[in-house]
């Protein structure tokens, strides 16, 4: 498997960690009976659960960019050391981002986000139409 697809697979697994973090946090706040029902009258989210839900939502947004960029790079045969490095940076930035968001670490979380965005830009610059990359 080419490295970009390996990083894509690893990022999909990481996405499951985000979801699991949200589940664990939700189970700590609500009783099992509340979670088995329609969830119409749940108490407002605790700050921790709110952060977990926002982190997962942020990962969904990031994956909406990452997945197609990787697939375009692979399918158009435009993979190179920059796309591989961009995928690796994106993965490790998102790996750091989750716990930083969950525990409310302010500045470093933003730096991790920006590193992940830089990884996306690195991939994007290799698949831009008409660049001859």
Question: Which pLDDT value is given to residue 133?
Answer: 53
Side-chain half-sphere CA neighbours of 14 within 13 A:
22
Domains within the chain, CATH numbers bracketed: 3-127 (1.20.120.550)
CA angle 101, 106, 107 (to 5 degrees): 120
Question: Which pLDDT value is given to residue 103?
Answer: 95
Chain mean pLDDT for the chain: 94
pLDDT exceeds 80 at position 112: yes
Structure tokens at 78: 């435009």
Question: What are 16-60's pLDDT values in tens digits?
Answer: 999 999 999 998 998 888 888 888 888 888 999 999 999 999 999
Contact 113, 93 (CB under 8 A): yes
């Amino acid at each position: 498997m080419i490295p970009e697809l390996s990083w894509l697979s690893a990022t999909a697994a990481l996405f499951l960690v985000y979801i699991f973090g949200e589940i664990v946090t939700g189970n700590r706040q609500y009783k099992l009976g509340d979670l088995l029902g329609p969830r119409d009258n749940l108490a407002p989210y605790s700050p921790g659960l709110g952060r977990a839900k926002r982190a997962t939502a942020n990962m969904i947004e990031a994956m909406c960019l990452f997945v197609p960029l990787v697939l375009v790079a692979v399918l158009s045969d435009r993979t190179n050391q920059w796309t591989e490095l961009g995928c690796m940076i994106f993965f490790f930035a998102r790996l750091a981002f989750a716990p930083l968001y969950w525990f409310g670490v302010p500045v470093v979380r933003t730096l991790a986000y920006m590193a992940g965005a830089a990884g996306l830009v690195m991939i994007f610059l290799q698949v831009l139409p008409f660049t001859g990359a």
